[in-house]
Amino acid sequence: MIPVTKPFMPNREKLDQYLDGIYERKWLTNNGPLAQELTSRLEEYLGVENLLLVSNGTLALQIAYRVLGINEPVNGKPAEAITTPFTFIATASSLKWDGIQPVFADIDPETWCLASKNIEAQITQQTRAIVPVHVFGNACDVETIDSIAQKYNLKVIYDACHAFGVKYQGESLLKHGDAATLSFHATKLFHTGEGGAIIFKRKEDLERAKKLINFGISGPESIEELGINAKMNEFQAAMGLCVLDEMEANMAARYAVWDSYERELAGSVQLQKKSEDLYYNASYFPAVFECESVALQVAGLLKQNGILARRYFFPSLETVECLGRKDYQPVSHDIAGRILCLPIYAGIEEKAQKSVIDVIKLCLAKGRQR
């Protein structure tokens, strides 16, 4: 079976060296030396400041909400945050979990990111923040979103879980917003098994977040506020350091797969329109088909041939009952119904890539003959 993705597994000998050090020090968590080293190296690699490692990407979002105060009720009612319905469930469920009502605004039909032109119509007295997503690593309209946020005094938290290493206009895309969050889940381009990070615009927000991820503790005998346990442990950091050492090879392998798909399929499927002046990370290869029935036929035929493609993102989140908002978002609903993410990971064989392409072309050819 060819999976849609595989975790990148770094050099085992190097990982064992880090693990030997953990066993010798017996310092397993609480900002250990490997977590400190990974923080420093990631800031340098990504070209950012004020980076905080956390235990997963969902908690990264929730800590950012708390630090920036957007979870606090407004006029005795839950705060609202405007976000996209075309994203992984955690973007919206993390808001709802923290007592913030996600309010959906539709996406751009070509970039698939939150359409900035749709944001202002959703702003109310309850709105505290905008939570856009750099979908598949594509840059949102950061300039317009920043302008809207300033006009209405809103915070901006970017879900940047797909945007590791992405550069926009020559600088890290992660520099935009009051905070940007990353997921280091095993399936991501860069991973720590599980894990995540927050990049804050302001140093004071970073310092507060450091306390929040450690139960609100500010010293051996001092607890300043309500916190939670969201720290990254040393085993996660060890994996991250090893993966980071091999990032260039990992990305080069993904680029080769991405280029192969694009070359063979560009005329047959709709591809995501990238923002101008974007250095992309080739972390996903999403393809949008003519209609939902074709997408399902392609997925079914791929599966029959031992290939897994994923309907990512599906469903459009305004249809998810537990999120509490059912305002129909036609573009998101349409794209979600027609999209498949194709297998892409370092180590996928050329033969497997060819099988993916051949099956899709065969399925599309059969459809045209009907």
As a whole number, mean pLDDT of residues 347-370 equals 87
pLDDT tens sequence across 175-218? 999 999 999 999 999 999 999 999 999 999 999 999 999 999 98
> Taking 90 as the threshold, does the pLDDT of residue 4 lie above it?
yes
| Sequential DSSP letters for 140-206 | P-HHHHHHHHHHHT-EEEEE-TT-TT-EETTEEGGGSSSEEEEE--TTSSS--SS-EEEEESSHHHH
On whether both 145 and 238 belong to a single domain, the answer is yes
pLDDT value of residue 329: 97
297 CB-near residues (< 8 Å, 6+ apart): 363, 367
Determine the residue type at 147: S
Determine the residue type at 219.
Answer: G
Q: What is the CA radius of gyration of the chain?
A: 21
Distances (CA, A) of 46 to 164, 235, 306: 8, 22, 37
Average of per-residue pLDDT across 133-156: 98
Count of C-beta atoms within a 10 Å radius of residue 167: 19
Distance CA 255, CA 189 (A): 12
pLDDT higher than threshold 80 for residue 100: yes
Domain C-terminal end among 200, 223, 244? 244
- % of the chain surpassing 90 pLDDT: 95
Question: Do 217 and 278 share a domain, yes or no?
Answer: no
Strand partners, 307: 2
Last residue of a domain, one of 244, 279, 295: 244
Determine the residue type at 15.
L
Contact 130, 154 (CB under 8 A): yes
As a whole number, mean pLDDT of residues 40-51 equals 98
- The pLDDT, as a whole number, for residue 150 is 98
Total tally of structural domains belonging to the chain: 2
Rounded mean pLDDT of the chain? 96
Angle, CA 348 vertex, CA 342 and CA 352 arms, to 5°? 70
β-strand partners of 157: 179
The whole domain housing 52 covers: 12-105+113-244
Residues 257 and 240 in one domain: no
Looking up residue 177, the CATH number of its domain turns out to be: 3.40.640.10
- The answer on pLDDT for 36 being more than 80 is yes
Question: One of 188, 201, 211, 231 is an active-site residue; which one?
Answer: 188
Show which of 224, 244, 264 is a domain's final residue: 244
Whether residues 154 and 273 fall in one domain:
no
Residue 208 and residue 254 in one domain: no
Span 264-285, pLDDT tens digits: 999 899 999 999 899 999 999 9
Phi, psi dihedrals of residue 66, rounded to the nearest 5°? -65, -45
Is the Cβ–Cβ distance between 199 and 51 less than 8 Å?
yes
Amino acid type, 211: K
Q: Which residues contact 157 (CB under 8 A, 6 or more apart)?
A: 61, 64, 65, 68, 70, 81, 129, 130, 131, 177, 178, 179, 180, 181
Asked, for residue 131, whether it belongs to a domain, the answer is yes
Q: Is residue 138 part of a domain?
A: yes
238 plus 256 within the same structural domain: no
Residue 369, pLDDT above cutoff 80: no
215 and 98 inside one domain? yes
Q: What is the pLDDT of residue 368?
A: 61
Catalytic status, residue 188:
yes
In the predicted model, what is the mean pLDDT of residues 85-108? 97
Asked whether residue 332 is domain-assigned, the answer is yes
pLDDT at res. 330: 98
pLDDT-derived band at 366 (thresholds 50, 70, 90) equals confident
Q: Is the pLDDT of residue 370 over 80?
A: no
How do strand 196-200 and strand 179-183 relate by DSSP bridges?
antiparallel
What pLDDT does 216 receive?
A: 95
CA 280 to chain centre: 14
In the block, residue with structure tokens 């032109």: 117
Q: Is residue 4 part of a domain?
A: no
First to last CA, the chain: 29
Residue 145 near residue 168 (C-beta atoms within 8 A): no
Q: For the segment 223-253, what is each residue's pLDDT rounded down to a tens digit?
A: 989 999 999 999 999 999 999 999 999 999 9
Cα–Cα distance between 141 and 170 in angstroms, integer? 15
Residue 3 lies in a domain: no
Amino acid in position 293: S
pLDDT for the residue 194: 98
Residues 232, 290, single domain; the answer is: no
Tell whether 234 and 298 lie within a shared domain: no
309-354 tens-digit pLDDT: 999 999 999 999 999 877 899 999 999 999 999 999 999 999 999 9
Residues 6+ apart with CB under 8 A from 306: 1, 2
In a domain, 1, yes or no: no
